[in-house]
Amino acid sequence: MTQRKLGADDVRQLYEQHGAALLLYARCFVVDRGLAEDAVQQVFLKLLRGETDTLETPLAYLYRAVRNTALNTRRTSARNVGLQEQDCWFAHRGGNREAELALQQALAELPDEQREVVIMRIWSGMTLDEAAAATGVPLNTAASRYRYALGKLRQHMQPYRKEQVNLRNE
Amino acid sequence: MNEHDEQFEDFLREFTPAQPVALPNQPETLREIGEPALVWPRRLAAAAAIAIAAAGSAWFASRKPVSLASRFAQPQSQTAQIDKAAGKNRAALRLTKFALEDLARFDEALSETTPTGLPRFDQPNSSLHVLAQ
C-alpha cells in the first residue's frame, strides 16, 4: 500500500467531516472531554505539519491513530473522572436530553470492538467494508459486530424511540 | 441489513456527536501546541549556563593554592596587641585583688604596674592629659 502526505486543506476537511465522530471515538477510551480533544487534535496537527504519511485510506488511519493516542493518554493520565461528571457526548436533534444520556450510556457499555464499528458506520458514514479494513478484521466479523451492537443499542434506546413515535402520532 | 436496521440507524443519526474545538489556523499556533516555540531559546540558555559553570570551575582550579594554616594565621602585630591587652587586664585584676585584701601589697604592685599597665597621661592626645588641663 502506497503512502502519501495529505495537504492542509484535505486535513481540515477531514477534521470538519469526521472530527466529531473521532472525538466521540476518543471519549470511549478517555472519559475526560479535554483529554479526548487533545488526542484528536494531536493526530490532526501531526498531519498538518506533514510529520506523518497516511495510507491510501486516511479515515482508517485517523481512527487507528486516535485510538492509539487516546490509549496513551489514558495510560499517562492520572485523572479518573466519572461518567456522570462529564458533559454529554451527543446533542439530540429534538433536544431530548434524557435520550442523549441514554445513548451515551449504551455506547459506553458496548465492547470496544463493537463500539468502534458503530461509530465508524453511523457517525463517520463508512461502509462496513471500510470499517473492516480500518479495524483490520474480515468483513463478516465487522458485520456481525455491528449487528450485535445495533441489537444492544436498540434494546437500550427502545423507550425513547417509542416516545418519539408517540409524539409524532399526537 | 433490513428495514428495521435502517430505521434505527436513522434514529441514531438524530444524535450528533459534540464538535471538537477548531484546529488552529496559524502555523505558529500549531508549533505552540505540538512543540513549544521556546525550545531553541531554552536550549541556548541551558548551553550558556553550562559554559559559565565550566569557565568558573576552570578559573577556580587555576588559582594559586592557599594553605589553610596561612589563611588562619594572624598577623604578628595583631597577636602582640592581643597579648598586650590581656596583660593589662591581668594587671588590673591583680591590683583590684590587692586593693581589697592587702593595702601594703597594693601600693607595691601599683608602683610596679604604673609605668606599663596604667594609661599614660603625658601624651598630648590622652584623655587624662586633656582632663588634667
- The tens digit of pLDDT for each residue in B81-100 reads 767 667 767 777 887 888 88
Angle, helices A128-135/A58-76, rounded to nearest 10 degrees: 50
Tell me how far apart the alpha carbons of residues A21 and A123 are, in angstroms, rounded to a whole number: 5
Angle, helices A33-48/A8-27, rounded to nearest 10 degrees: 160
pLDDT at A74 over 60: yes
- Least confident range of A110-124, B78-92, B96-110: B78-92
Q: What is the pLDDT of residues B64-75, one digit of tens each?
A: 666 666 666 656
What is the number of other CB atoms lying within 10 angstroms of the CB of residue B84?
A: 11
Angle, helices A8-27/A58-76, rounded to nearest 10 degrees: 50
pLDDT at A141: 96
pLDDT at B128: 64
pTM of the model: 0.57
Q: Which three cell numbers stand for residue A149?
A: 451492537
Phi and psi dihedrals of B75, rounded to 5? -60, 150
pLDDT at A84: 46
Chain A CB contacts of B17 under 8 Å are 20-21, 23-24, 89-90, 123
Bigger pLDDT: B65 vs A120: A120
Q: Do A100 and B11 touch (CB under 8 A)?
A: no
Q: Do A153 and B21 touch (CB under 8 A)?
A: no
Per DSSP, B25 falls in state: -
Tell me how far apart the alpha carbons of residues A42 and A32 are, in angstroms, rounded to a whole number: 16
Bigger pLDDT: B97 vs A25: A25
Chain A CB contacts of B13 under 8 Å are 122-123
Cα B68 from chain centroid (whole Å): 21
pLDDT at A114 over 90: yes
Tell me how far apart the alpha carbons of residues A30 and A80 are, in angstroms, rounded to a whole number: 9
What is the band of A75 on the pLDDT scale with cuts at 50, 70, 90? confident
Paired residues of B15 in beta bridges: A92
CB of B25 within 8 Å of any CB in chain A?
no
pLDDT at B133: 66
- Least confident range of A9-18, A130-139, B3-12, B61-70: B61-70
Q: Which three cell numbers stand for residue B51?
A: 559554559
Residue showing cell 463508512:
A126
Q: Do A48 and B23 touch (CB under 8 A)?
A: yes
Report yes or no: A116 and A63 within 8 Å, Cβ to Cβ.
yes
pLDDT at B67: 62
- Least confident range of A12-16, A107-111, A128-132, B35-39: B35-39
CB of B9 within 8 Å of any CB in chain A?
yes
Distance from CA of A56 to the nearest CA of B (A): 23
Cα A24 from chain centroid (whole Å): 4
* Shortest CA distance from A155: residue in chain B: B8
Residue showing cell 479535554:
A34
Distance from CA of B38 to the nearest CA of A (A): 18
Which region holds residue A119: left if phi is over 0, alpha if psi is between -120 and 50, else beta?
A: alpha
Q: Do B8 and A19 touch (CB under 8 A)?
A: no
pLDDT at B99: 84
Q: Do B19 and A20 touch (CB under 8 A)?
A: yes
Best residue of A14, A24, A147 to probe chain B, by most B CBs closer than 10 Å = A24
CB of A14 within 8 Å of any CB in chain B?
no
ipTM associated with this complex: 0.80
Bigger pLDDT: A8 vs A137: A137
Chain B CB contacts of A90 under 8 Å are 15-18
pLDDT at B70: 62
Using H for helix, E for strand and C for coil, what is the string for chain A?
A: CCCECCCHHHHHHHHHHHHHHHHHHHHCCCCCHHHHHHHHHHHHHHHHCCCCCECCCHHHHHHHHHHHHHHHHHHHCCCCCCHHHCCCCEEECCCCHHHHHHHHHHHHHCCHHHHHHHHHHHHCCCCHHHHHHHHCCCHHHHHHHHHHHHHHHHHHHHHHHHHHHHHHHC
Distance from CA of A1 to the nearest CA of B (A): 28
Rounded mean pLDDT, A37-55: 84
Q: Which three cell numbers stand for residue B80?
A: 602582640
